[in-house]
Amino acid sequence: MSDVDSGPLRAPKPKAGTCIKCKTRPSTVVLRHVQYCKDCFLFATTGKFRSAFGKSAISNTTGHKAMVAFSGGPSSRALLHLMKGFQHVGSHQSGQKRLFDELVICHIDETAAFNGSSTLDMARVVVDTEYPDFTFHGQLIEDIYEDEALSSIDKKEKLRQLFAQAGSLTAKEDLLWHIKMHLLVKAAQKLGCTRLILGDSATRIAIKVISFTAKGRGYSLPLEIGGDIHGLYPNLVILRPLKDMLAKEIAIYDHSQGLLNSLVPATNFSTMAPPTASIDRATEEFIVGLDRDFPSTVSTIVRTASKLKLASSMNGQSRCALCHMPIQSGSKDWKQRITVQSTQCTRDSAPGTLTVPENILCYACQTDLSESEGWSRLADDASPSTQLEEFRSLGYPTLLTQDDMHQRIKDFLLDD
């Protein structure tokens, strides 16, 4: 009972090379300076995954169809494997047929944006051969234009033009992420899924906390990193059950379970790019480097960020047309106060740089778009519906519904 007994100095220290949990088997894994044998490591990892589901308010999974986002990278590969075990144990322990009614695995083939070779078949083979109980859903990134009467080639070309005009690497990476979220949400809703399960690890979340703050996404940060997000999209809850697992832990899990030879190779804008090429790349380099020497870096950032609460001013009504996150009002005034927008010699040569349509875009998306060609066409004095049309004509996808739209233009409508 005494504090002294439970203190770390008095606990019997395992011999070097022995697992800290079972204290019998030789250790094969070192994580945060602690040694585990393979069995105890897998037991701890699986337990952490299940408790993430247990902690979420969605303890009742029956009656729900879930979509798992599967890029084929180390995190989502582990996620798929953990979901399989979770479904199985759930059915064994509770006597139910299965945990979720159905699991749809969604892979988005992003290669049209990079001229790479398709990843769709590789992802399909992994799911069909190893997880035949799951339903595979493949989606091409150019399908973001599926509502438009365009040929497959034209859709690809339109997508490439959109990325070509997007300006910096940071803006391109943000745009790619928004398009992928659009496609996942649209596919989940179309297929009747009420849960969308993402493979964000603790390391990924720590990187997001820092990079999103740097990009001016602090207002909606709790929605971007939370383990259990309701209300962001109609009838769809976002879950992040890997949020307590380090990228290293996930890599060891993949290795221990023999999953490394069935990863789908990733291509993205920053492959081969130097660490300073974008905010995401610079942050990743910083966090991963720091965590190597100070193993509590990631968990400290994640724990601290998880205490963030949504602003009381957030009403959920006004959403960004690009990222679908809530728009913080007054960002335009704030930006004008802190920004040097013109000098005597550039004032006449740079018309349009003051134009910030905060009616339809959040602060961070305004910043991304301010580097893109065509930006000055989005006139601030136009009505939100006109701005939205302009925005779409630039090739940007939006997830706005009729209700969202009505909310934007209600000040321009006469009462019945």
Contact set with Zn ion (CB under 5 A): 19, 21-22, 25, 37, 40, 320, 322-323, 362, 365
Neighbour-count burial for 73-101, b at 16+ CB within 10 Å, e otherwise? bbbbbbbbbbbeebbeebeeeeeeeebbb
* Nearest-approach distance from CB 108 to Zn ion, in angstroms: 20
Tokens standing for residue 76 = 């989502």
* Nearest-approach distance from CB 325 to Zn ion, in angstroms: 5
C-beta of 182 vs 204, nearer to Zn ion: 182
Tokens standing for residue 13 = 């220290």
CA 396 → CA 16, 166, 365, distances in Å?
A: 57, 10, 12
C-beta of 210 vs 365, nearer to Zn ion: 365
C-beta of 21 vs 215, nearer to Zn ion: 21
C-beta of 23 vs 292, nearer to Zn ion: 23
C-beta of 8 vs 17, nearer to Zn ion: 17
Cα 215 to the center of its chain, rounded Å: 15
**CA-wise closest residue to 50 among 213, 242, 289, 187:** 242
Contact (CB, 8 A) for 238 and 196: yes
Secondary structure (3-state) at 327: coil
**CA angle, 20 then 22 then 26, to 5°:** 70
C-beta of 22 vs 310, nearer to Zn ion: 22
Other CB atoms within 10 A of residue 356 CB: 21
* Nearest-approach distance from CB 275 to Zn ion, in angstroms: 26
Burial (0-12, 13-18, 19+ Cβ within 10 Å), 262: middle
* Nearest-approach distance from CB 69 to Zn ion, in angstroms: 20
- What's the rounded Cα separation, in Å, for the pair 285 and 273? 12
C-beta of 15 vs 292, nearer to Zn ion: 15
* Nearest-approach distance from CB 410 to Zn ion, in angstroms: 21
Give Cβ neighbours of residue 345 (< 8 Å, ≥ 6 apart).
none
Question: How many Cα atoms sit within 13 Å of 165 on the Cβ side?
Answer: 15
* Nearest-approach distance from CB 25 to Zn ion, in angstroms: 5
C-beta of 298 vs 320, nearer to Zn ion: 320
- What's the rounded Cα separation, in Å, for the pair 327 and 78? 34
* Nearest-approach distance from CB 231 to Zn ion, in angstroms: 17
- What's the rounded Cα separation, in Å, for the pair 77 and 81? 7
What are phi and psi for residue 66, nearest 5 degrees? Answer: -115, 150
For residue 360, which amino acid is it? I
* Nearest-approach distance from CB 324 to Zn ion, in angstroms: 7
Contact (CB, 8 A) for 232 and 223: yes
C-beta of 104 vs 175, nearer to Zn ion: 175
* Nearest-approach distance from CB 95 to Zn ion, in angstroms: 30
